[in-house]
Amino acid sequence: MNLSLLLAFGALMLLEVSCLFFAQGRSTNETDMKALLEFKSQVAENKREVLASWNNSSPLCNWIGVTCDRKQESVISLDVGGFKLAGAISPS
């Protein structure tokens, strides 16, 4: 996968999370977790190990690549650009 494709994929991931956040007003921790777990399920299986911390038994704000607003405990930033993920992002 070339660098420009990887950057485009990263930008789409960030856009997806941003759209979810702004479309629902104040995002809740549960909604954020559900959206990110859905995103993880779309990542190619051989690339998912980097997202091992993304699971129901680990607090969302402790997930690798996730930054939360500590007061609201909602996702404010997602940085997975260096993880070399591959897969398709669901339009839903």
Read off the pLDDT of residues 40-92 as tens digits, 9 standing for 90 and up.
988 888 788 899 999 999 999 999 999 998 777 789 999 988 888 888 877 76
Confidence band (pLDDT; 50, 70, 90) for 25? Answer: very low
Interatomic CA distance for residues 83 and 66, integer angstroms: 13
Share the mean pLDDT of the chain. 79
The answer to whether the Cα torsion of 64, 69, 73, 78 is positive or negative is negative
**pTM, full prediction:** 0.65
Contact predicate 27/21, CB 8 Å: yes
What length is written for the chain? 92
